[in-house]
Structure 1
Amino acid sequence: MGKPDAEGHGPSDGLPDLPPEWGRVVVPDDASALADEAAQIRRELRRAAGRTGPHRALVLPMVVLLVALLTTLAGLIAVTLPRANRGTDRPTLRPSSPPPALTGRALPALDLVDAGQAPVPLRGLLPAMIILVDGCPCPAVVTEAVAAAPAGVTVVTVTGGRAAAPPPVHGVRALADPAGGLRSFLGQPARPGTAAALLVDRAGTVTRALPELGPIDAYRGDLTALAA
């Protein structure tokens, strides 16, 4: 049996006045009478949770995707940005080496030119030590080669372009290679400060290729063998 509400329909037993817009409120003596209302409220709450659940379920995958994207971008930036100076951490420059098949090959029948622009068949000067000085005149190493060359072996200096460089020492045949055929045969570009050389026997066969002409002791035996 319910008690009168706060609108004067009965005593309120000390309860505070309720808002008038609530209308007539009946408080049951037995709480089980509210079971139907409680069940309806629970159904409403479940429906509300079902409406918002899918949106919450998308939050975690979106966060994971965002973290993966930021990690990928950070890795790309680290790879593409220039690295900081690491002091003495520098790549070691190794001298280039001649093609392995160059030794034993026949010297091409090239016509070079002398200081007067007259053609000079290179094969007509064999046996010879041919020094390419288009990257460096290198008078010291040329002079050393001339001093060590045995009788009958021609020391030839070859420059690029059409003008033969003056020989640094007496006994050198100075020529020019306008077409660049000799450098192309060597298979390596000219390097500043470096002279290259080919040792060719009287049959026209390359016996030694020196991409960087160094001290005479490195090739003295091969140079002497050209006179045989």
Structure 2
Amino acid sequence: MGKPDADGPEVPDLPPEWGRVVVPDDASALAAEAARLRRELRATPRRAGGVVRGRPSLALPLVVLLVAVLTTLAGLAAVTWPRSGRATPEPLATPYSPPSGRPLPALDLVDAGQSPVPLRGLVPAMIIMIDGCPCRSEVADAAALAPPGVTLVTVAAHRAVPATPPVGGAAPRELADPAGGLRAFLHLPARPGTATALLVDRAGILVKVVPEVRSTEDYRADLARLAA
């Protein structure tokens, strides 16, 4: 039926501990042994790369989850990380162009009793806009310098603000501009802690605008000429 091959010249290099290997002439003689071997292989879990086949593996989902977390963290770091040397540039300030030389608009302001007061009826005048602050010292300084015949007017935003009685100067006329018409004419928004001064001649022409009154030297000469 068969012949020994372990010691014969036909099948060299077989380990001697295998013993005698008999190769049958008919391969069907090995059918029973092959069926038994297949049953043993099916019953035994196979390992491939350290992972037991036939059991669900958590390695791949964990890797995918780790990659997703790292990608998210990298995106957040790229967005929130401070960039040195790339400071946001400050917007350039537009130079203010006062409407000097133009006639004062025909505005009606209101006094403390909410009665209308035509602004053009007060010229020549120095108008101090105090919607940014009370600016009592600036008003007092202007009152001390105002020549006879020149009206000193203070303009608040919503209601007339009583001024401190001047010492040796003209009492200012306290008015309010609830509609903001004078600021709109000047195209100059109010700034906190800052007073704006307007000097208007007898013809109602705006002679000078002082956007921020810092000292009496900002308007002293022009104020004196208003009385001429």
TM-score (norm 2): 0.61
Query: Does residue 125 in structure 1 map to residue 128 in structure 2?
Result: no
Distance 1:98 1:130 in 2: 22
Q: Cα 1:135–1:98, aligned 2, differ >3 Å: closer, same or farther?
A: farther
Matches within 5 A, 1:47-196: 74-78=77-81, 99-161=96-158, 163-170=159-166, 171=170, 172-196=172-196
- The CA deviation at 1:75 is 3.7
Question: 1:34-91: CA deviations, max 9, x gaps?
Answer: xxxxxxxxxxxxxxxxxxxxxxxxxxxxxxxxxx998776442225x9x9xxxxxxx9
Query: Does residue 7 in structure 1 map to residue 10 in structure 2?
Result: no
Distance 1:98 1:121 in 2: 31
Q: Cα 1:103–1:18, aligned 2, differ >3 Å: closer, same or farther?
A: farther
Matched-pair contact (CA < 8 Å) for 2:128–2:154: yes
Distance 1:198 1:74 in 2: 54
Q: Secondary structure at the match of 2:174?
A: strand
Matched-pair contact (CA < 8 Å) for 2:136–2:164: yes
Q: Which runs of 5+ in 2 are unaligned?
A: 24-70
Matched-pair contact (CA < 8 Å) for 1:98–1:188: no
TM-score (norm 1): 0.61
Tell me the equivalent position of 2:223: 223
The CA RMSD over aligned residues, in Å, is 3.8
Higher helix proportion (structure 1 or 2): 1
Identity %: 51
How many residues are paired up? 171
Matched-pair contact (CA < 8 Å) for 2:98–2:209: no
Q: Secondary structure at the match of 1:221?
A: helix
Q: Which runs of 5+ in 1 are unaligned?
A: 24-67, 84-90
Q: Secondary structure at the match of 1:130?
A: strand
Q: Cα 1:116–1:70, aligned 2, differ >3 Å: closer, same or farther?
A: closer
Matched-pair contact (CA < 8 Å) for 2:5–2:21: no
Question: 1:116-157: CA deviations, max 9, x gaps?
Answer: 322211111111110111221111110101111222211100
Matched-pair contact (CA < 8 Å) for 1:157–1:175: yes
Q: Secondary structure at the match of 2:6?
A: coil
Matched-pair contact (CA < 8 Å) for 1:160–1:178: yes
- The CA deviation at 1:181 is 1.0
